[in-house]
Homo-oligomer: A and B are copies of this chain.
Amino acid sequence: MQIPSEMRQWVLARRPVGLATEEDFRLETAAVPEPGPGEVLVRTQYLGVAPVMLRYMTNNTDFERDLEIGDVMHGRGVGLVVKSNNPHWQPGDLVYARLRWREYAVFDDDPYYIPMRMGHPDLKWSYGVGTLGNNGFTALIGMREIGRVSDGDQVLVSGAAGGVGSNCAYVAKALGAKRVVGIAGGPEKCQLLTERLGFDAAIDYKASGVESAIDAQFPEGVDVFFDNVGGELLDQVLARIRRHARIVICGRISEYLKDPADYHRHRNLYRIGLMDGKLEGFFVDDYRERYPEFEAVLADWIRAGKLVPHEDMLEGLEQMPAALIGLYDGTNAGVRLVRIDPTADQGR
């Protein structure tokens, strides 16, 4: 393969205040890096976006390296190895890693990169930034390791049409859940939940009467709540948990743009104690040693038709800022990702 001398990359131009705008990013041309000793050069195939990436821009996470103005944006994606000075990797290998927003990237054995060999190149490579990557792993960890979903559980998911949420019903059902209900915004997304994403029912949070809708869907209360939204909605669900309920704290998109002084104050936290329940957060990277196991489980479910990934694909590196910003306008459905290499998947 011919490796060009130059590539495009997105750098942080300015720290956003609240929601980012396109002006907070700058598209640059840079030299394609030459891999040093132990390093691997990949051509970026797909990059994912997630709400948390907005916080990378203000160095407001505990788990990502700080960004200076002018640094290439953090991001994870699927890369095709094109050159390797590392005995573990050969040209043609597919890897999922912290590649950043650029057309070519290098990584080495530093665990920071979380390089994971994609074990199922027969399946769509793009799944590596979706159902066979962080989105799917997060759904699986949340439902299985944290939520301990098993036979007969009645499960509620917020942000159900999102990248993680769109995998949640399939995962919960595969683990034995009796019923999975999703919460999303607007009738179109709600239709998607039940028609394409495996949910038994949908609740429109933009319509009135969310609390009575939850009551109607869960007359016995909620066993597992997989929460991507936080805030007031979490409080409303706390009021409706069943004995031994598990609340999986995955995300909190309703408050990522707010000042901490404006965060919701929860009335119903006491119900965790009263109902002998659990409320637990988790970080997908803490499970990195088990990624191959998770990937195998999810790939089996895809092949068996138990899990149907739903992709919201944008085309071209130039779409990255819009892809991220758009996660906050509530319109995306499924796993949002960007195809960086127009020839991606041709080797499949």
Q: Which residues of A come within 8 Å of B, CB atoms? A: 62, 230, 234, 243, 249-252, 255, 263, 265-267, 269-270, 272-283, 286
Contact = CB atoms under 8 A, between A and B. Distances in A.
Number of copies: 2
B282 A276 contact: yes
Given A62-B243, A243-B62, A265-B265, A276 B281 contact: yes
Given A263-B267, A265-B265, A267-B263, A281 B286 contact: no
Contact of A278 (B273, B275, B276, B278): B278
B277 A280 contact: yes
Contacts of A282: 276
Contact of A249 (B243, B250, B251, B273): B273
A279 B280 contact: yes
A272 to B, nearest CB: 5
A265 B263 contact: no
A280 B281 contact: no
B255 A270 contact: yes
A152 to B, nearest CB: 18
Given A62-B243, A243-B62, A265-B265, A279 B270 contact: no
Q: What 4 A-B pairs come out closest when comparing CB atoms?
A: A249-B273, A265-B265, A273-B281, A278-B280
Given A230-B270, A269-B269, A279 B279 contact: yes
